[in-house]
Structure 1
Amino acid sequence: MSLADDMFQALMDSSPLNAAMLGIPGWENELGDLTVEGQRTARDRIAGLLDRAETDDSEDPVTLAVIRQQGRAVVDRIDAKLVEHTVATMSAPVNSLLLLSSKVDVSQRLGQFPRYIAQAGERVRQSDRRPLSRHLATGVQRMDGFLAQPEQEWEGGHSAEIRAAVAGFRDVLASVEDGRGDDQAGLCWLPDGERNYANLVRNYTTTSRTPDELHRLGLDIIASLREEYAGIGSRLWGTSDVAEIFHRLRTDLLWDDEEQMIASAVDAIARAEAEAPKWFGRMPSVACQVLAVPEEERSTSAIAFYQPAPADRSRPGTYWLNPLGATERSRTLSEVTAFHEAVPGHHYQFSIAGETELPTLRKYAFIEAYLEGWGLYTERLADEMGLYSSDEQRLGMLGLDAMRASRLVVDTGLHAFGWSRQQAVDYLRDNTVMTEPEIHSEIDRYIETPGQALAYMVGRLEIQRVRAEAQERMGERFDVRAFHDLVVGSGAVPLSTLDQIVTAWSVAP
């Protein structure tokens, strides 16, 4: 096999659940190994492939860049030992396993669930990298919620074994008496935290920007967004007072019911699909459906997320919406979230790349700065496309911009500068329109997935930059449809590589 194929095989072997989520055949019987020894074996295998990449001349430069980025990302995440203190959010191994079991066919893996769950518990039990005390309590609560549900009739008689394993994991979390306090929330309080965070920042952003640079960038963007808020607020309500605009967004523009939330998403996606041919030359062959998260999963699920169509296209791509607490949530976020997660965001991104002739690794590479950068880019692109139905919905666009810019400030604050959890909560409260439950959920996510939240804004700014430079170089020759086809059709790549791809395209005769 080629080096790219070898790396793809190693990546999927190290995390077969990624293959399950993407619908890639070949790993139906696997869950992976969370033990220290198992992680070390996976790391050594991938590190060996990275060594090969230093001298291999059989791959083209773009594919080689993806190989290096993907391999280094896994090595650095294993080295950071995040599995030992990630227990509360959907990044946690047990939480993600239970969520995935309702989204894809896991029947051939069920016999391995108890082993995998026990391994997750053992890593927490043996580690000196304690989770936050509040996260331990949240983890216990979520395991109790699972155990309180009617017993699931899984194939092969595995239900009792799985429930026993979940109960055992719950007991491990409950037994940890020296969890970290909220004043020591970030990686900088853990062994090798500074080095691990620097590596994670590099891998999630695919840039050389330092935490300090990213922190200051976020502060600058937040300041500029306040001017945009004031402009739309003046048109909509006759006020430029940002505090009043924030108050109205939090309290006045809420959903009437769950059905209204779902209908709005369906309508937004339909309008985006109708307009897309003016902005894309290539369309995905697979549809995008909108589904509500099942009721039993709503308390632990994200508010919205996208699940790609499987490789065999046996089902559509799916935009999952969580209606939990709909009547207490702002309706202004409806359209912007649909454009980001579905059309022309992640649905176009994953579907079009999956239908190219790219190497398999390039079709399915998970490079956050590219993937989430594209999603955030399409939120502003949707305004260019005339997709927002009102100024209310444009305020939602600004609201998500503010959240992503605040992530630059808060993620680096927590993990590089020693912020307490409360400092992070206060910053989001003062600079975004998120509700209190959303703020606390976001902060817990940043704590347990260090660096990931930086990818969104960094990626968007880079895509906007390379587009602007291509337009300047090409003048009237610039075709936005061809630009979008190039970016999406190249698959996920590091941002520096995307710059090279677009530059080569824009200077070609």
Structure 2
Amino acid sequence: MTSLSDETFQAMMDFEPMFATLVGVPGWDDRLEDLSVEGHQALRARLTDILRRVGESDESQVAKDVITHQATSIITKIDARLVEHTVSRGLNAPVAGLLRRASHVDLSQRLQLVPRFLDQAMERLRDTDRRPLRRHAESGAAHVERFLAGPVQEWEGDADLRPAFARYREFLLSLQGRDDEHAGLCWLPEGEENYRKLVRDYTTASYTPAELHQLGLDLMAGLREEYAEIGSRVWGTTDVQEIFRRLRTELLWDNENDMLTSAVEAVARAEAEAPNWFGRLPKARCEVRFVPEMDRESAPFAYYEDAAMDGSRPGTYFANPLRATERSRTVSEVTAFHEAIPGHHFQLSIAAETELSNVRKFAFIDSFIEGWGLYTERLADEMGLYSSDEQRLGMLGLDAMRAGRLVVDTGLHALGWSRQQAVDYLRENTAMDSTEIESEVDRYIETPGQALAYMVGRLEIMRVRGEAQAAMGDRFDIKAFHDLVLENGVVPLSTLADLVTTWSGRPDVSRG
């Protein structure tokens, strides 16, 4: 008999079949997501039935928590109809996602489905009361144009896919997109309610958009004090705007190869120190590579791809060398620690190597996954991994980006900010360069709520660690704490808090 965990995982992979292939779970290698309204509604009905039955299930409480989150999460994304206004940089942009992953997974059994997939994407964009930003439609078209202008890729095989991609490109260029003044969800039908649900989905916490906005402002004020402290040591100034200016104009990369070398060295240093902080280490290897050239204009400046379960492909940290000589080298080490070791590579590989059910190994819970990644940026400082105060300024730089995300994401989608307001805020309050700011803001517009997960998750992991240390005193073991967090798979933040409470011996919560 199929368990509820297995049913939920099947629904998750039906929603993201290329992810199944990426991590090496068999059964989805001949499928692409069904983007049609009918397909999404059929999947929604299955998930609603799972939610109806979860209370009667004999699964563990942790499994029930994960099942409930995953079913609710996919329903939330379907109801928000993100596919109808996400075409460029968003994590939910279907065609951009297909092109980004095409060279990383075996598409041979699903190539014949690509034209239908593109037709469905166009159909959803055509028959809708919500539209992408005009600039995002143009950016999505430019991404496809770069693909069409290049040589035939190995993954295309003998399939004649390019006419279908060309039709999709022309369709994007024909769209009457929204202007930059109306960038957020609050300007779309049911937008405020959809955003409220997406906030809950991505944070797995009870914050309102207004509370998150204020939290971001408060965190940013505290970071300015840290900037002044380290800036005085590096440059002899406590003027934060001067520190930002120098970070944007000095300490830049001489060439893109130095960027890759720095990342490789940081990962090696972290790998050597990790046994002093983790009892369990992943078996999967971690490689560092550049983002493929065709994807650099649309890809983020860094990301991680999971290792295959069978060991056929290592976990990979992709660094984007786009306009490297215009970018600060101070974020090199902190990004490597977040994306690779002890960040996503440790977290996702250790979960995949446990005996847990697949739904707990591969759950899409951003507040846990990205919260861990951000937690490890500060943990790396505890571990002594940063090579200089310059690199610690990079750590603060990414902290400021994540605090800024709380302000900007809620500003765009709840408060009605224009795209330019979001750009101006990040320009005033972070050391990011203009190219990175523009890319980040476009990502927030197309993936509402996801950017909130990082800081909310980091703060919660730090909170439960602090409470465990206070409760256990000398009995607290940092290795055991990290193993507890990672060996239980991907869980909502409230579930993590309960697990740590039980482990640390405090009697107020026990869920088994």
TM-score of the superposition, structure 2-length normalised?
0.97
Task: Call closer, same or farther: CA 1:334–1:23 in 2, change over 3 Å.
Answer: same
Query: Residues of 2 paired with 1:153 and 1:239: CA distance?
Result: 53
Residue aligning to 1:275: 273
Q: Name the % identity.
A: 63
SS in 2 for 1:289: strand
Matches within 5 A, 1:62-211: 62-91=62-91, 92-154=93-155, 157-158=158-159, 160=160, 162-177=161-176, 179-211=177-209
1:67 to partner: Cα distance? 0.2
Task: Call closer, same or farther: CA 1:163–1:249 in 2, change over 3 Å.
Answer: same
Residue aligning to 2:10: 9
Q: Which amino acid aligns with 2:328?
A: S
1:239 to partner: Cα distance? 0.5
| 1:403 partnered with 2:401 | yes
C-alpha contact (below 8 Å) 1:125/1:172 kept by paired residues: no
1:301 to partner: Cα distance? 2.0
**Deviation by residue 1:72-118 (Cα, 9 ceiling, x = unmatched):** 00001000000000011152100000111111111111111111011
1:22 to partner: Cα distance? 2.4
Matching residue within 469, 474, 477 for 2:475: 477
Of stretches 388-397 and 310-319 in structure 1, the one that deviates more from structure 2 is 310-319
1:287 to partner: Cα distance? 1.1
C-alpha contact (below 8 Å) 2:223/2:396 kept by paired residues: yes
1:150 to partner: Cα distance? 1.9
**Runs of 4 or more consecutive aligned structure 1 residues displaced over 6 Å after TM superposition:** none
SS in 2 for 1:131: coil
**Deviation by residue 1:424-450 (Cα, 9 ceiling, x = unmatched):** 000000011111110010000000000
Query: Residues of 1 paired with 2:155 and 2:466: CA distance?
Result: 53
SS in 1 for 2:28: coil
Query: Residues of 2 paired with 1:135 and 1:312: CA distance?
Result: 37
1:119 to partner: Cα distance? 0.5
SS in 1 for 2:55: helix
Q: Which amino acid aligns with 1:449?
A: T
1:168 to partner: Cα distance? 1.1
C-alpha contact (below 8 Å) 2:87/2:94 kept by paired residues: yes
1:55 to partner: Cα distance? 2.5
1:256 to partner: Cα distance? 0.9
C-alpha contact (below 8 Å) 2:273/2:383 kept by paired residues: yes
Residue aligning to 1:226: 224
C-alpha contact (below 8 Å) 1:289/1:319 kept by paired residues: yes
**Deviation by residue 1:444-503 (Cα, 9 ceiling, x = unmatched):** 000000000000000000000000000000000000000000001111100000000000
Q: Which amino acid aligns with 1:376?
A: L
Q: Which amino acid aligns with 2:261?
A: A
Task: Call closer, same or farther: CA 1:314–1:508 in 2, change over 3 Å.
Answer: farther
Residue aligning to 2:61: 61
**Deviation by residue 1:241-265 (Cα, 9 ceiling, x = unmatched):** 0011000100101011111110101
Of stretches 283-292 and 149-158 in structure 1, the one that deviates more from structure 2 is 149-158
1:299 to partner: Cα distance? 1.9
SS in 1 for 2:223: helix
SS in 2 for 1:419: coil
SS in 1 for 2:288: strand
Query: Residues of 2 paired with 1:35 and 1:155: CA distance?
Result: 24
Query: Residues of 1 paired with 2:385 and 2:425: CA distance?
Result: 31
C-alpha contact (below 8 Å) 1:90/1:300 kept by paired residues: no
Q: Which amino acid aligns with 1:80?
A: A
Query: Residues of 1 paired with 2:96 and 2:151: CA distance?
Result: 18
C-alpha contact (below 8 Å) 1:185/1:420 kept by paired residues: yes
Q: Which amino acid aligns with 2:128?
A: S
SS in 2 for 1:233: helix
Unmatched 5+ stretches in structure 1: none
Alignment root-mean-square deviation, CA: 1.2
Matching residue within 264, 277, 286 for 2:262: 264
1:156 to partner: Cα distance? 5.3
Query: Residues of 2 paired with 1:48 and 1:289: CA distance?
Result: 41
